[in-house]
Amino acid sequence: MPTVKLNKKEVLRYIGRKYTDNELKERIPMIGVDLEDINEDDIIVEIFPNRPDMMSEPGFGRALSSFFGIKTGLRKYNTKKSSYKVIIDKNLKNIRPYTSAAVVKNLKLNNEKIKELIQIQEKLHVTYGRNRKRCAIGIYPLDNIKMPIIFKAAKPEDIKFKPLDADREMNGTEILDKHPAGKEYGYLIKDYPMFPVFVDSNNKILSLTPIINSEYTGRVTEKIEDVFIEVSGHDFNITKKCLNIIVTALSDMNGEIYSVELDYGKKIQSPDLENEKIKINPKYLCDKIGVSLKENEIKKYIEHMGFSYSKNNVMIPAYRADILHEIDIAEDVAIAYGYNNFKVEIPKVATIGEEDKIESFKNKIAGILTGFGLIEASTFSITNSNILNKKMNLKNEHVELANALTNEYNILRNSLLPLLLEVLEKNRHNEYPQKIFELGKIFLKDVKEETGIKERNMLSAISCHSKADYTEVKQFLDSMISSLGLKVSIEESSNESFIDGRVGDVYVNSRKIGYIGELKPEVITSFSLDMPVSGFEIDLDELFSIIL
């Protein structure tokens, strides 16, 4: 968890009431943060990454003010209209395609407030922005730039400006190679032929995002009252939420929020501070936290967490990034109710802990295959369509990630066998034969599931060497199934990944559990292999249900 050092005097000002150190020590941990220290000047806390809105003096003070019952309920933030505009270049589509933006005026900055502003930016970068992978923040003196601003892609050699804390002008490539920020974050963009930059109407570069601001247009000092803020990233909703966290904090610092028009071809007003609504079931909520609450009690606890409540509807403030489901509301109600107020109860049923039966079954299967001389592998659950479909000659449906950071890892695997082939591809330099297996989950679309995704435990095994064939892997499969006291049968089938006549569906007790065969030469060569490969994949959940 990120550790945040907060100015105690400022936090108390945002809370709206004075508290002694002992009172703060007693009450702060109750909101769900780890209190490390309170001294004369600072409050040092560890804050869970799911609450990025609390990683600043305004945000932390606002949360405590609600929790302590001083100013409960939903805070309202107003946005004033303006003529400011950001034009987004379509060439950013495959680089860093989205930005959200705002202007905040009349900040009356001093040294302490600048520290607060820098901390908000840095902590959001590390947590919500995942070290700038998901989103990156730029804050600029409004007086130093001319609207409208263009967010565009430019060739590295054409990007020339003096970065913050540099002693000279650099181009894009030099910034990545020589500037400290470029060395640390350059990997995020270095493989793209063009880099994302913000440029104003005077053709002055504001920043090379997500790396560094310009010394001239991107340094905020005590003389600055009005700032332009942009958040760039790969998912518009993430940039929007991150911007909301920043501007609401600055509004609490007595800043005035002004809108910016985002021109994507379609025009969008930013920031969007509209509150979100979630419908809750009071019975579900009470069942989840294990306490019977009346509706007026639910309302009170919900308002102590900074929400509003009316007729089973909860309004979520625009700066909360962690509320995705009704269960999240239940968690906040439990926090407001107080974990120290839950009664300790001895369960009516005494049980003895034991290993999950399916895990025990998987361990048994792993032991059998290891005995046959196969080596167990472990691959990532996230991969790409090129591995799962294109290289396998398939067009299977898969589950895409909503906020994938790269095209290399943007879908959940729907099969283990392609990932094992990728393992072989990366181990071509090792001696043969190579015989490996994996026990792991795959993910399939299923509208009947609450999440729309069904998980299955699978087993896949492959053999790769000069004499690898169907007979060899069939022997592995036969021996494994017979060791479980079952018999296996194979029915010839077709599969675009396997050689016709050398592929079949696997059946146990007349129930189909998988497939087996020799891979086609074009599939083998697509993984840069030059030896035959045979293998099988079976549904372990299905097999386990047969032996129960």
- Residue 237: helix, strand or coil by DSSP? helix
Judge if 33 and 106 occupy the same domain: no
Domain boundary among 67, 100, 118: 67
Q: Give the domain-ending residue among 42, 67, 92.
A: 67
Q: What is the pLDDT of residues 112-170, one digit of tens each?
A: 888 888 888 998 998 899 899 899 999 999 999 999 999 999 999 999 999 999 999 99
Q: Is residue 113 part of a domain?
A: yes
Residue 74 maps to a domain? no
CATH number for position 313? 3.30.56.10
Q: Does residue 253 belong to any structural domain of this protein?
A: yes
In a domain, 534, yes or no: yes
Cβ atoms of 292 and 337 within 8 Å: the answer is no
Does residue 350 lie in a domain region? no
Instruction: Determine what percent of the chain is predicted with pLDDT higher than 70.
Output: 99
Quick check: is 352 in a domain?
A: no
Report the pLDDT value the prediction gives residue 353, as an integer from 0 to 100.
83
The answer to whether residue 215 sits within a structural domain is: yes
What is the spatial distance between Cα 454 and Cα 316, in angstroms, rounded to a whole number? 29
Residue whose C-alpha is closest to residue 548's, from 508, 501, 517, 489: 508
Q: Return the SS3 of 522.
A: helix
Strand partners, 511: 508
Based on the domain organization, do 324 and 391 belong to the same domain? Answer: no
| Environment class of 325 (CB within 10 Å of its CB; exposed 0-12, middle 13-18, buried 19+) | exposed
pLDDT (mean) for 168-185: 94
Assess if residue 299 is contained within a domain.
yes
Average pLDDT, the chain: 92
Query: What does the pLDDT look like over 338-359, one tens digit per residue?
Result: 988 988 888 788 788 888 899 9
Q: Can you say how many angstroms the Cα of residue 423 is from the centroid of all Cα atoms in its chain?
A: 26
Q: How far is CA 125 from CA 61, 211, 385, 522, in A?
A: 21, 11, 29, 44
> 428 pLDDT exceeds 90?
no
Q: Helix, strand, coil: what percent of the chain each, to 5?
A: 35, 30, 40
Q: Looking at the structure, do residues 380 and 440 belong to the same domain, yes or no?
A: yes
The closest of 157, 151, 274 to 205, measured between CA atoms, is 151
Instruction: For residues 193 and 331, state if they share a domain.
Output: no
Rounded Cα distance, 254 and 252, in Å? 5
Residue 173 phi, psi dihedral angles, 5° rounding: -65, -40
402 and 451 inside one domain: yes
**H or E element in which residue 240 lies:** helix 236-252
Are 437 and 518 contained in the same domain? yes
Which is it for strands 511-519 and 498-508: parallel, antiparallel or unpaired?
antiparallel
Q: How many domains does the chain have?
A: 4
C-alpha 125: how far from chain center: 13
Mean pLDDT computed over 318-336:
93
Name the residue with tokens 């050398």: 502
**Given a cut of 70, is residue 441 above it in pLDDT?**
yes
Tally of CB atoms within 10 A around 275: 17
Mean of pLDDT values over 213-233: 91
On whether both 289 and 245 belong to a single domain, the answer is no
Q: Decide if pLDDT at 1 tops 70.
A: no
Residues 164, 234: one domain? yes
- Average the pLDDT over 36-54 and give the result: 90
- The residue among 217 and 79 whose pLDDT is bigger is 79
Last residue of a domain, one of 17, 33, 67: 67
**Token pair recorded at residue 420:** 């094992």
| Pair 382, 523 in one domain | yes
pLDDT at residue 213, rounded to an integer: 95
CA dist 231 and 240 (Å) reads 8
Specify whether 212 is located in the same domain as 326.
Answer: no
463 or 113, higher pLDDT:
463
Helices (H), 33-171: 57-67, 111-126
Q: Are residues 449 and 527 in the same domain?
A: yes
Q: Tokens 């905020």 belong to which residue? A: 220
Sign of CA dihedral 398, 455, 405, 239: positive
Judged against a pLDDT cut of 80, whether residue 403 lies above it is answered with no
Q: Strand, helix or coil at 244? A: helix
Residues 420 and 525 in one domain: yes
| The predicted structure's pLDDT at residue 75 | 93
Which residues is 258 bridged to in the sheet? 80, 103
Domain span at 326: 276-341
Average pLDDT over every residue of 23-33: 91
Q: Supply the DSSP string of 40-55, one letter for each residue.
A: SSEEEEE--TT-GGGS
Confidence of residue 405 (pLDDT cuts 50, 70, 90): low
Label residue 222 by pLDDT band (50, 70, 90). Answer: confident
Q: What is the mean pLDDT of residues 187-196?
A: 93
Instruction: Look up the CATH number of the domain holding residue 410.
Output: 3.30.930.10
Give residue 61's Cα distance to chain centre: 26
